[in-house]
Amino acid sequence: MATTRPRHSAAGTQFLDPAVLGRIGNLELLARTVVDGFLTGLHRSPYLGFSMDFAEHRPYMPGDDIRRIDWKLFARSDRHYIKLFEADTNANFSVLLDLSASMSYGSHSLTKLDYARYLAACLTYFSNKQRDRVGLVTFDHEVVDYVPPSMKHLDTILHTLDRAKAGRPGSLAEPILKITEMLGRKGILVVISDFYEEPDAVLSALGPLRARGHDVIVFHVMDPYELEFPFQEASGFEDLETGEQIPVIPGKLRADYLAMMNAHLAALERSFTDHRIDYRLLDTSKPLDTALFEYLLARERMSKTR
């Protein structure tokens, strides 16, 4: 199984465990808790706005970009200060959340959908703090809810996320095509799904988004049981989306299953990388910091490329 530890993980940035987050009913509170905690522990300044409106100075902290040091102030005070600016809205940020029935699976207290909702809420909150216009599209085999990107839609998004329920079979092609048409302006698109489709089909569905110039970040949410298949007792396995049931003796099938799952993950990663789509596999038993780091890295990369 691919590791979910972020490459830029720093000491003191471990967030609350997902199981604990599950007890926080309010998504906004949750997002704030996660994001603020994340930012407090982060040594690098996360805000990367392009606005030139001065906001305030703050002492330089190790890890801050030295280009942001106000040298004039240094000349006057012989101290290093960072010059902070009010970030302007600079991008459309939309979360594309998969609500297919398979997302309702969870081997522990948190289902994949819960995890995805927390993630979406955190990213949206984070982006909104960056003055991005935030939007949300939920879908299964069709678009369920659409919240167009706006500076004022944070509450709407959080509310929509709060009542999002998974229950119907899902597919990527049709709803993504529709979303591609709906999202006119280029922006940052975060796709959160479990991608139970063939890699080629996934790519053909997401490919048009990339082709329209969106920056696409893919979070592949998987339960640890899907990744490890630790079942022991012979049981009837029922597909959450189709209702189909087959008898399974896990001990006999585990090796084959894991091989196929790993091949699937590898194929997805390879395909997304080939198409310059950021891909990150998320284990629902792991903290959310991985996703947030991934997002920051993507933003940083985007800012460099602009």
Chain positions contacting another protein, by CB under 8 A: 102-108, 111-114, 165-166, 194, 196, 223, 225-226, 230-242, 244-249, 252-253, 256-257, 260-261, 264
For residue 100, the 8-state DSSP code is B
Q: How far is the CB of 220 from another protein (least distance, A)?
A: 12
Q: How far is the CB of 16 from another protein (least distance, A)?
A: 20
Amino acid letter, residue 217: I
Q: How far is the CB of 141 from another protein (least distance, A)?
A: 14
Measure the CA–CA gap between 58 and 44, rounded to whole angstroms.
13
Helix (H, G, I), strand (E, B) or coil at 218: strand
Q: How far is the CB of 104 from another protein (least distance, A)?
A: 5
Each residue of 211-244: b (16+ CB within 10 Å) or e?
ebebbbbbbbbbbbebbbbebeeeeeeeebbeee
- The answer to whether 201 and 172 are in contact (CB under 8 A) is yes
CA distances from 82 to 43, 85, 166 (A): 13, 10, 45
Q: At what angle do helices 154-162 and 112-129 cross, to 10 degrees?
A: 170
Amino acid letter, residue 245: Q
Nearer to another protein, 110 or 183 (CB): 110
Q: How far is the CB of 22 from another protein (least distance, A)?
A: 10
Nearer to another protein, 25 or 213 (CB): 25
What are the structure tokens assigned to 1, written together? 């199984």
Nearer to another protein, 51 or 109 (CB): 109
Nearer to another protein, 128 or 193 (CB): 193
Locate tokens 């995890």: which residue? 115
- 235 φ, ψ to 5°? -145, 170
> End-to-end alpha-carbon separation of the chain, Å?
34
Nearer to another protein, 29 or 260 (CB): 260
Measure the CA–CA gap between 60 and 44, rounded to whole angstroms.
10
Nearer to another protein, 82 or 99 (CB): 99
What are the structure tokens assigned to 298, written together? 């993507």
The closest alpha carbon to 13, from 49, 38, 30, belongs to 38
Nearer to another protein, 2 or 261 (CB): 261
Nearer to another protein, 110 or 122 (CB): 110
Nearer to another protein, 146 or 225 (CB): 225
- 150 φ, ψ to 5°? -160, 155
For residue 257, the 8-state DSSP code is H
Q: How far is the CB of 136 from another protein (least distance, A)?
A: 18
Measure the CA–CA gap between 254 and 256, rounded to whole angstroms.
5
Q: How far is the CB of 69 from another protein (least distance, A)?
A: 49
Q: How far is the CB of 261 from another protein (least distance, A)?
A: 6
Q: How far is the CB of 230 from another protein (least distance, A)?
A: 5
The closest alpha carbon to 218, from 237, 191, 241, 240, belongs to 191
